[in-house]
Amino acid sequence: MTAVTACRSCGGTDLQRFLDLGTTPLPDALVDPGADLSQEERFPLGVAFCPSCSLVQLTEEVSAEKMFVDNYHYYSSFSDHLLKHSREHALGLLRSRGLGPDSLVVEVASNDGYLLRNFVEAGVPVLGVDPSPGPAAAAVEAGVPTLREFFGIDLARRLVTEGKRADVIIANNVMAHVPDLNGFVAGMKHLLADDGLITVENPYVRDLVDHCEFDTIYHEHFCYFSCTAVDALARRHGLWLNDVEYFPDLHGGTLRWHLGHHDRRTDTVRAYLREEAERGLTELSAYADFADRVRRVCTDLATLIRERRAAGRTVAAYGAAAKGAMLLNHAGLGTDLVEYVVDRNPHKQGKLMPGTHQPVRPPEVLLEEQPDDVLLLAWNFRDEILAQQAEYIARGGRFIVPVPSPEVVP
Ligand code: JHZ
Ligand code: ZN
């Protein structure tokens, strides 16, 4: 672990720390049941604002190998909502970019091939890049050619030397995950064909703050982006931020940034930049009361669950998500309060949640055991999971949604 002393984007050394989340285990470091729990590692987690380029970022860095090669069980294909969103993205690009058998679509962090398979189906050549062994193997199995590597300027140079240029580069939920942010953007710039398009998706820092989504802050996410920060980053590498799309229901509020070699800036981009300045997201002030709000959610949630347990109710949780591990740890919800977690990813089942050690079980358990309450750790899939658990609810089960403030539904 190393302390971050300069901004990951602009190199500015005046980082202003506004949140200290103590120490936590790594969010995806699910524990094997037989493991020696006293050996579990914890790392400090703090967040700072860069006044020079507005980038919000972690103050400590854990090695990417440790997080994405050794401990990664996240498979994108377990959410129907995400699969639908990705398919619509792919179909939109196929139409708008006129992609065909001579094109090349590169996806960075292509995971299990959840998105690229739509292009494969349409006969468009693709290349996935992902360093995580399990998801990358699943992608190859699904017919999506995948390089099991980290993406950056070195890999981009190698691909260009091999004669490759990308007509479209897609980077979803990965720009936050790279320690060498500038090497990553330089790589995309280098690999992109002259009239090519880069689309980058990431949760929007404005929504993180507005909806108190503090559990999405964890070691895997080195950075938290605004349009202002992305604009500065892109310009540094000779790229233009030309358009922005907003998906309020994806991961708590996601932006898709369109980048290219040439200036085709839309009014939408100008409007976002203006609004961010007006809202204070380009200053520390927007983040000033965030730490207090985080503490309040943790306290209120723990109190609510304690009261319900004291009233004799049983409590389980849904979603062995990275953010779920963070929420359980920050709110101090051990096995005395939340008995187990259900998740439909078989790679997570049978393991224990990092730090709080609830066993991860399949979702069918909810109907078998009918716990009185289920804490919805994967609150970003609220509609999808509530619909899927209609029978559990019809039998009297209740969900506790933790953010923006704890709420019992229905
Ligand atoms: P989910 C992920 O974070 C991964 P996480 C990553 N770190 C990132 O950047 C963000 O997304 C944006 C399960 N599930 O996707 C699947 C069901 O069991 O919110 C997952 O284990 N049944 C790259 O890990 C978990 O819940 C369901 O019906 O916080 C959700 O995790 C659905 C919909 C999901 O991500
Ligand atoms: Zn900066």
If asked whether residues 18 and 113 sit together in one domain, one would say no
SS3 359: strand
Give me the mean pLDDT over the 372-379 stretch: 98
Cβ proximity of 343 and 360 under 8 Å: yes
Listed residues 214, 248, 264: the one ending a domain? 264
Tell me how far the alpha carbon of residue 11 lies from the centroid of ligand 2, in angstroms: 6
Q: What is the pLDDT of residue 69?
A: 80
The fraction of the chain above a pLDDT of 90, given in percent, is 96
Is the confidence at residue 70, as pLDDT, over 80? no
Ligand 1 neighbourhood includes 130 CB (under 6 angstroms): no
If asked whether residues 224 and 112 sit together in one domain, one would say yes
DSSP structural state of residue 11: -
In this predicted model, what pLDDT tens digit does every residue of 104-158 receive, in sequence order? 999 999 999 999 999 999 999 999 999 999 999 999 999 999 999 999 999 999 9
Ligand 1 neighbourhood includes 29 CB (under 6 angstroms): no
Q: What are phi and psi of 75, to 5 degrees?
A: -120, 125
User: Among the atoms of ligand 1, which is closest to the Cα of residue 177?
Assistant: 9
Tell me how far the alpha carbon of residue 98 lies from the centroid of ligand 1, in angstroms: 32
Confidence of residue 187 (pLDDT cuts 50, 70, 90): very high
Tell me how far the alpha carbon of residue 96 lies from the centroid of ligand 1, in angstroms: 29
For 42, 44, 216, 335, the CA distances from 1, given in Å and listed in that order, are 10, 9, 20, 29
**317 part of a folded domain:** yes
**65 part of a folded domain:** no
**271 part of a folded domain:** no
SS3 139: helix
Ligand 1 neighbourhood includes 378 CB (under 6 angstroms): yes
If asked whether residues 255 and 115 sit together in one domain, one would say yes
Ligand 1 neighbourhood includes 220 CB (under 6 angstroms): yes
What is the CATH classification number for the domain harbouring 256?
A: 3.40.50.150
If asked whether residues 229 and 336 sit together in one domain, one would say no
If asked whether residues 299 and 353 sit together in one domain, one would say yes
If asked whether residues 238 and 341 sit together in one domain, one would say no
If asked whether residues 13 and 146 sit together in one domain, one would say no
Q: What is the pLDDT of residue 247?
A: 98
Give me the mean pLDDT over the 381-388 stretch: 95
Question: What is the Cα–Cα distance from 366 to 398, expressed in whole angstroms?
Answer: 11
Tell me how far the alpha carbon of residue 59 lies from the centroid of ligand 2, in angstroms: 13
**66 part of a folded domain:** no
Is the confidence at residue 185, as pLDDT, over 80? yes
If one residue of 62, 111, 318, 381 were mutated to test the ligand 1 pocket, choosing by the most ligand atoms within 8 A of its CB, it would be 381
Q: Strands 56-58 and 43-49, how do they pair?
A: antiparallel
In this predicted model, what pLDDT tens digit does every residue of 242-292 receive, in sequence order? 999 999 999 999 999 999 999 999 999 999 999 999 999 999 999 999 999
Other residues' Cβ atoms within 10 Å of the Cβ of residue 284: 15
**67 part of a folded domain:** no
Q: What is the pLDDT of residue 261?
A: 98
Query: Quick one: which ligand is closest to 377's CA?
Result: 1
Q: What is the pLDDT of residue 73?
A: 86
Q: pTM for this structure?
A: 0.95
Q: What is the pLDDT of residue 1?
A: 84
Confidence of residue 78 (pLDDT cuts 50, 70, 90): confident
Domain hosting 21: range is 2-60
If asked whether residues 88 and 52 sit together in one domain, one would say no
The token pair that represents 110 in the structure block: 């292509």
Q: What is the count of structural domains for the chain?
A: 3
Ligand 1 neighbourhood includes 382 CB (under 6 angstroms): no
Cβ proximity of 289 and 280 under 8 Å: no
If asked whether residues 385 and 297 sit together in one domain, one would say yes
If one residue of 79, 112, 384 were mutated to test the ligand 1 pocket, choosing by the most ligand atoms within 8 A of its CB, it would be 79
What is the CATH classification number for the domain harbouring 308?
A: 3.40.50.720
SS3 222: coil
Tell me how far the alpha carbon of residue 301 lies from the centroid of ligand 1, in angstroms: 21
Question: What is the Cα–Cα distance from 332 to 329, expressed in whole angstroms?
Answer: 5
If asked whether residues 115 and 254 sit together in one domain, one would say yes
**280 part of a folded domain:** no
Is the confidence at residue 227, as pLDDT, over 90? yes
**285 part of a folded domain:** no
- DSSP output for 227-284: HHHHHHHHHHTT-EEEEEEEETTSTTSEEEEEEESS----HHHHHHHHHHHHTTTTSG
For 305, 343, 364, 371, 392, the CA distances from 367, given in Å and listed in that order, are 21, 14, 6, 8, 6
Give me the mean pLDDT over the 294-315 stretch: 98
